[in-house]
Structure 1
């Protein structure tokens, strides 16, 4: 493989920091579990790591429907997933015996027959905060909820009220969101950081999260898992832009993630008490993610600091394209596919963790 050029104009760094942000990379390198339980569908809300292609169908530059994205997907097909292959929610659906991929709600090649067993409303680049989705004109979280309501109406029309309501009660609703609010919004743009301290902003996001989960529950959802934040200061681009500190992880960002996760854990505890019948689980992967990054060989990886695509430092989205000569030949050696998103192999680990964590919480 050719030697990687680690130089990159500052302008490019700043541009890439407004791009999509990656859901927590997690945990034990094991085959995806084959589980048995009454989970008839997987319903997904969130950002880029759980977006299977919704952004393909809106007017935004945040897309990944081109090579080499999807090169290890079935048929080598780029789908709009921000990975070389499948994403975590695909493996989660497979683990529950539902199906091998979860479709994007805005993809016109699917209809309610497909969505009845699993659907994703996620949009790369979005956040809890509406202002986060405005940065690059992606789908805000409130709009994902509107799509969910529309989906519920279609499901009831397709299956009838009783059967549809049963599926909604028993389906696993997965929420993966929040990293963009800090890296794409709070730390990138002057508006929020001049208005609020980081603690105040965390509390604003927690209020939005509470309200969103409460609304899902009001609409019939009972089984819900929400992810915490990863050590976001250890993403390849954050290391690359931390060059004056030896390209180490940005510990300020990591501490913010840990603090937010602690507060989110308290909110989950409260909601489990307050909302009748809810089964709400926090997937809090921070410590295990750090173990993976600190000891990649223990999980079967060779590189945790750089990504597979391009130089491994800055590229994602349109900078991660088939004309880039530096892209690695074997993505299985890397935790990161591009400078923010995990490889298919890491996504498989994510899925294994989420499934086990949910099942352990509600045996």
Structure 2
């Protein structure tokens, strides 16, 4: 009897110690799926299937994925959305909706509808065949029908209401229309163009809400002036940064102004108006700027040029097997002249998990 009591005590003590352990992050979230919309920062390969010139279905893109095979992600490996579904314990990668291998069962836990080169301004997507935001939303409605057919109306509604929706767009609009050389194609002031983009973004959020989305994360702009391609343009053409690889402070201030409007003027009214929804601002400007200005903190030794080729202008088709690639991409913040390495995307996903995610799920 004494031995039995001792054994019971040990089991109880062990159970108590187990309860005191930190709860795994996957156990603390109640997210059914992740659906992503926007541009190349979330495109998992949709552009492979739209005959777009702007694609990354070739090496060295994807070289650090487990299969070492390019899947259409604009990076050497995972995107932030891939890390996000992993953090949530949903799956290892967020697949592209247009991937022919995507099954209806895959849709139950989410997919990416994003398209590299896309934006909030129709002039942005007119440059090359890509999926604009209205088309991405139409595809989601198509996906919702597939989900309803598989699990029924009620279960489908529950899945969508408990899913996390991520919108990442706006950078291409600024690059193509506001900072294009030698002249801008926008007729508005910078502030006016920001308002125009934000109005379109507001419409995207409202449309997602109408089809059932209730947990929505909206990313702001990165420090555009720190993108290698923008630094390169500053070095080629006369600027305050002539012959110096430094971030363009004016463009960074534009990004900050846009983000401030998004966070203070656009999202709060939406939160009030769209009853039952949780809409959060995902600040990507802060962590990217911190990585760019404090590289050693994150294990980087190069933050002003990409790993692919010269790292100055290469993007999409210009980053290919014919150009040299750095040996240690984990030491680089940028993979090409615009997109982060998977090391950089990992930091963004971690930042998301530590900041906005808790608000959206509680």
TM-score, normalising length: structure 1: 0.88
- The alpha carbon displacement at 1:193 in A equals 4.1
Q: Pick the aligned partner of 2:251 from 250, 253, 267.
A: 253
The within-5 A match list for 1:347-362 is 347-362=345-360
Aligned position for 2:102? 110
Aligned position for 2:344? 346
Residue 153 in structure 1 maps to residue 145 in structure 2? yes
* Distance across 2 between alignment mates of 1:192 and 1:333: 34
Residue 216 in structure 1 maps to residue 208 in structure 2? yes
- The alpha carbon displacement at 1:355 in A equals 2.3
* Distance across 2 between alignment mates of 1:142 and 1:54: 15
* Distance across 2 between alignment mates of 1:190 and 1:322: 31
Residue 197 in structure 1 maps to residue 195 in structure 2? no
Whether the 8 Å CA contact 2:162–2:215 is kept in 1: the answer is: yes
- The alpha carbon displacement at 1:247 in A equals 2.4
- The alpha carbon displacement at 1:354 in A equals 1.6
Q: Deviations over 1:215-263 (max 9, x none)?
A: 1111110000010001001101111111142222122211110000001
Residue 51 in structure 1 maps to residue 49 in structure 2? no
* Distance across 2 between alignment mates of 1:84 and 1:282: 27
Whether the 8 Å CA contact 1:232–1:257 is kept in 2: the answer is: yes
TM-score, normalising length: structure 2: 0.88
RMSD between aligned residues: 1.6
* Distance across 1 between alignment mates of 2:196 and 2:348: 27
Q: Secondary structure at the match of 2:281?
A: strand
Number of residues of Structure 1 aligned to a counterpart in Structure 2: 331
Aligned position for 2:8? none
The within-5 A match list for 1:231-270 is 231-243=223-235, 244=238, 245=241, 246-266=244-264, 267-270=266-269
Change in Cα spacing, 1:158 to 1:350, as seen in structure 2 (3 Å) is: same
Q: Deviations over 1:37-83 (max 9, x none)?
A: 21010000010010000000012110111111111001101000001
- The alpha carbon displacement at 1:134 in A equals 0.9
Whether the 8 Å CA contact 2:287–2:348 is kept in 1: the answer is: no
Q: Which has the higher contact order (CA 8 A, sep 6+)?
A: 1
- The alpha carbon displacement at 1:264 in A equals 0.3
Change in Cα spacing, 1:222 to 1:242, as seen in structure 2 (3 Å) is: same
Residue 162 in structure 1 maps to residue 154 in structure 2? yes
338-347 vs 311-320, which deviates more?
311-320
Aligned position for 1:280? 279
* Distance across 1 between alignment mates of 2:192 and 2:182: 15
Aligned position for 2:91? 99
Whether the 8 Å CA contact 2:287–2:351 is kept in 1: the answer is: no
Q: Secondary structure at the match of 1:280?
A: strand
Q: Which has the larger radius of gyration?
A: 2
* Distance across 2 between alignment mates of 1:295 and 1:361: 28
Change in Cα spacing, 1:194 to 1:67, as seen in structure 2 (3 Å) is: closer
Aligned position for 1:289? 288
- The alpha carbon displacement at 1:341 in A equals 0.5
280-289 vs 202-211, which deviates more?
280-289
* Distance across 2 between alignment mates of 1:221 and 1:248: 40
* Distance across 1 between alignment mates of 2:186 and 2:302: 37
Whether the 8 Å CA contact 1:33–1:352 is kept in 2: the answer is: no
* Distance across 1 between alignment mates of 2:28 and 2:358: 13
Q: What runs of 5+ residues in structure 2 fail to find an aligned partner?
A: 1-23
352-361 vs 234-243, which deviates more?
352-361
Q: Deviations over 1:282-339 (max 9, x none)?
A: 01132332221111001111111111111111112111111213x1011000000011
Aligned position for 1:27? none
Residue 301 in structure 1 maps to residue 300 in structure 2? yes
* Distance across 2 between alignment mates of 1:158 and 1:190: 52
Q: Pick the aligned partner of 1:137 from 129, 132, 152.
A: 129
